[in-house]
Amino acid sequence: MADDVAARAVLDLTCALIARRSLTPDDAGCCALLGERLARLGFTLEAIDAGGVTNLWATLGNGGPLLILAGHTDVVPPGPREAWFSDPFEPQIRDGVLYGRGAADMKSGLAAMVVAAERLLARRALRGTLAFLITSDEEGSARHGTRHVVEVLKARGLRPDYAIVGEATAAERLGDRITIGRRGSLGCNLRVLGKQGHVAYPDKAENPIHRLAPALAELTATVWDHGNAHFPPTSFQVSNLHAGTGANNVIPGHVDLIFNFRFCTESNAEDLKARVGAILDRHGLRYEADWWLSGEPFLTREAELVDAARASIADVTGIAAPLLFTGGGTSDARFLAPWGAQTVEIGPVNDSIHKINEHVRVDDLDRLSRIYEGVLERLL
């Protein structure tokens, strides 16, 4: 009976979170709900808000080790209501599957973490400190969420030992992957300058599209690195290309290009920027480059946290050797790992995240919570 109550607790809390329309960066009361649960356990709550973003830092215990459970309450827009089986902010269960925006990314992870803490603390006291870092700015700009909180806590001299992010990381079955690293993300808004003129008088103009083309061919053909045992080679991808006035007889004055590097630990942002600049300069381009770095790559070594995660997953799911994964996009782990924490991501199956009819299996909710509980048991 106690197990049934605990399993229902994860489902009920997940549904309560889904019902809050927390479109990024609006928290919509999710942190308040989670904070109430944590306060009842004795956690000290602190709001570290910034730029209109809600951030909750909650701690329980004293001394080390310090383990952080991290996640976000904000979700991406659901898309057209008529494409969903049901209202995306009214959680619905069909055939053992829970539907709703945030079901997998990542309100179920947050609910499972809170219930894991409740179950563990009902049995015994902690050794060390357990903390929750919850933000509403992961799906958006990610400037005022985890990034901001980490800088505030760094300034206090705080350094965590372990961090678990509840992102949806499983491929086909709960527990089949542990994310131990992520590639870095470096983007650029590039404007190549020319001289506008009439297409009939090209000698009196300078076509920036024509000037860009050879440089772009070299950029796309360049081997930036060869990757390593944990990461594929760094990739360069153009996502947007715009030029022209719309008229068919005007040579444009500039061409705008947006491109992105997903780079591994064999490269770094400054070197990539320098190499791009060298190519553009070699082709004699006049240009303006606006770079932004979303995060450096990170890799967590196989040590206490990975060992604890493997053991807990094996106990709960029977999967003895989950894949140690470094693919996918970025997450808030990119701010936690450089802080000095061994950092992993463990969460539900990710095949529906950001999609219409986002969902998670109901049976996976309690099992995910037990995975988190097992890691806490081993490390605290």
List the beta bridge partners of residue 364. none
Single out the residue of 337, 380, 330 nearest to residue 167, CA to CA: 330
Q: What number is the average pLDDT over the span 44-65?
A: 97
Q: Which two tokens stand for residue 355?
A: 């999609």
Given a cut of 50, whether residue 155 has pLDDT beyond it is yes
Per-residue confidence (pLDDT) for residue 1, from 0 to 100: 44
Given a cut of 80, whether residue 5 has pLDDT beyond it is no
CB 297 within 8 A of CB 231: yes
Cα separation, 133 vs 125, in Å, equals: 20
Per-residue confidence (pLDDT) for residue 6, from 0 to 100: 67
Query: E strand or H helix at 186, and its extent?
Result: strand 184-193
Categorize the per-residue pLDDT at 328 as very low, low, confident or very high, splitting at 50, 70 and 90. Answer: confident
Categorize the per-residue pLDDT at 2 as very low, low, confident or very high, splitting at 50, 70 and 90. Answer: low
Categorize the per-residue pLDDT at 67 as very low, low, confident or very high, splitting at 50, 70 and 90. Answer: very high
81-136 confidence digits (pLDDT tens) = 999 999 999 999 999 999 999 999 999 999 999 999 999 999 999 999 999 999 99
Active site residue 74: yes
Per-residue confidence (pLDDT) for residue 282, from 0 to 100: 98
Cis peptide before 202 (omega within 30 of 0): no
Cα separation, 184 vs 335, in Å, equals: 11
Q: Which of 138, 161, 296, 377 is catalytic?
A: 138
Q: Which of 26, 27, 49, 74 is catalytic?
A: 74
CB 169 within 8 A of CB 345: yes
Cα separation, 232 vs 328, in Å, equals: 11
Radius of gyration of the chain (CA): 24
Single out the residue of 110, 112, 86 nearest to residue 99, CA to CA: 86
Active site residue 218: no
161-217 confidence digits (pLDDT tens) = 999 999 999 999 999 999 999 999 999 999 999 999 999 999 999 999 999 999 999
Q: Taking all residues of the chain, what is their mean pLDDT, rounded to a whole number?
A: 96
Per-residue confidence (pLDDT) for residue 64, from 0 to 100: 94
Per-residue confidence (pLDDT) for residue 12, from 0 to 100: 98
Single out the residue of 222, 310, 227 nearest to residue 267, CA to CA: 227
Single out the residue of 345, 348, 344, 375 nearest to residue 359, CA to CA: 348
Single out the residue of 118, 181, 71 nearest to residue 370, CA to CA: 118
High-pLDDT (> 90) share of the chain, %: 96
Per-residue confidence (pLDDT) for residue 3, from 0 to 100: 63
Given a cut of 50, whether residue 62 has pLDDT beyond it is yes
Cα separation, 308 vs 322, in Å, equals: 12
- What are the residue ranges of helices labelled H in 82-143? 108-123
pTM: 0.90
Tell me which of 2-16, 154-168, 179-193, 246-260 is least confident. 2-16
CB-hemisphere CA count at 13 Å for 153? 27
Given a cut of 90, whether residue 330 has pLDDT beyond it is no
Cα separation, 148 vs 234, in Å, equals: 28
